[in-house]
Amino acid sequence: MKYQAFNPYLPSWEYIPDGEPYVFDGRVYVYGSHDLFNGYVFCQGDYVSWSAPVDDLSDWRYEGVIYPRNADPMNKDSKMCLYAPDVTVGPDGRYYLYYVLDHVDVVSVAVCDKPAGQYEFYGYVHYPDGTRLGERAGDEPQFDPGVYTENGKTYLYTGFCGRGDKSRSGAQATVLDSDMLTILEAPKIIVPGSEYSAGTEYAGHAFFEAPSIRKIGDTWYFVYSSEVMHELCYATSKHPTEGFTYGGVIVSNCDVGIDTYKPANMRVTVGGNDHGGLVKVGEQWYIFYHRQTNGTMYSRQGCAEPVTIAADGSIAQVEITSCGLNGGPLVGKGIEYPAYLACHLFVEDAPSGNPFMSMARMPKVTQDGKDGDRDPGFVTNISNGATIGFKYFDVQDVSKITIWARGYGHGGKFEVKTAWDGEVLAEIPVINTNVWEPYSAPVTIPNGVHSIYFTFRGFGSPSLKSFMLE
């Protein structure tokens, strides 16, 4: 790669959650919804796409707006938001974009001749008599379409199942004809929601939202966000519309379930909703997911981690990291790393059993300016005991560490560690300043692959822009 790749993999001022990745013509394209910086609801923006060459996952290119909010006939006034989409290649070789508007229960479709050209409205998924899916008596509302096309048929997966709502049964699979709109096989429930999962293998990890589908060999992998929201789980079957068995958790956007470096139930950042999909780039599989920023659920950013599909088809849960698509640890000396790459943001006394730690108390990634301004992200809302963590770095012959900070932190200091609960290797005092200032301290870190953690001790609430190992 020309450069290193990070999490988030897009620029810090871009907010593309719900990422569905695909390889088309030698490039990885990501399709997702579009949040705004300081957004007040989900998915306020037009659909945009980004892509990168398969041999350089650090080199992401903005493809522009591929579908505006008002392109759908039901949304000419742009009052509705475009929720999470998915894309598939039809039998005619064209690219079909499936999506749902936020106030209706039907599936819309747009089409384009190129992966990221200007999509045009195409129609609504409907039964042979013209009734739209989601509007026939007995239909459950449509939400978060995931699609896969094979042998002239398109398999459409949809659904949303909140706790306590018995009117929502689970994830639905619907089969469409070669015109990409007409239903051949009516919806079938393939994974139960929380109200119908008791006594099944899905109990505790029942379907909530975010269907995503891939076929790997002869096995269908159904990825979804579970009832706990922060995790992406998977189920597998040899048939696209039945027989799915629970596989496990692929990733949690707050690392719940990972017990290698912390207690399994400890949340290392704010847990929020999640959505993403699998993609194979070269010989490596990745899971795309998203994280919450700006102290809100409405400014989410895309991340990705490598995964391994074992010989038996299983996928073990992976850690969230700062290096993501890099293919290994980041260079551990001589590079100034932005603080928005932090994958761990927490305070010492956060309740470990609460999936949504109080955002008001948590350090958070944010930016200056307004949405669209290309101002680099940083970490703010740092209080006494707050920890900011980064993973992983190949550290070699490091003897000094420098941070760039601003804000009111007079009398405070940042402790430097290689584990969230590890030995303090250095202390970096900071003072009050309204501009970014560097602060340094000597440090000895053994050569090898390490995490880097900063824990603030003191009064005030400084912000952290970046750091460098020297």
Q: Which of 390, 388, 466, 371 is nearest to 16 (CA)?
A: 371
Alpha-carbon distance of 78 to 407, in angstroms, equals 39
- Beta-strand pair 330-331/387-395: parallel
Rounded Cα distance between 386 and 466, Å, is 16
Cα–Cα distance for residue pair 437/158, rounded to 1 Å: 49
Six token digits for residue 371: 């949405």
Farthest CA pair distance, the chain: 74
Is 18 one of the annotated active-site residues of the chain?
Answer: yes
Residue 209 annotated among the catalytic residues of the structure: yes
Q: What tokens appear for 188 in the block? A: 């079938």
- Per annotation, catalytic residue among 209, 227, 255, 274: 209
Q: Cis (ω within 30 of 0) for the bond into 337?
A: no
DSSP letters of 127-174? Answer: -TTSPBTTSSTTPPPP-S-EEEEETTEEEEEE----TT-TT--EEEEE
Instruction: Give every CB contact of residue 285 below 8 A, 6+ residues apart in sequence.
Output: 278, 279, 306, 307, 308, 309
Residue identified by tokens 């941070």 is 403
Catalytic pick among 14, 18, 86, 139? 18
From CA 111, how far away is CA 126, in angstroms rounded? 16
* β-sheet bridge partners, residue 156: 147, 174
Q: Which residues contact 64 (CB under 8 A, 6 or more apart)?
A: 48, 49, 116
Give the DSSP letter of residue 340.
G
Cβ atoms 337, 330 nearer than 8 A? yes
b vs e for 136-170, b when ≥16 Cβ sit within 10 Å of the residue's Cβ?
eeebbbbbbbbbbbeeebbbbbbbbbeeeeeebbb
Active site residues: 18, 209
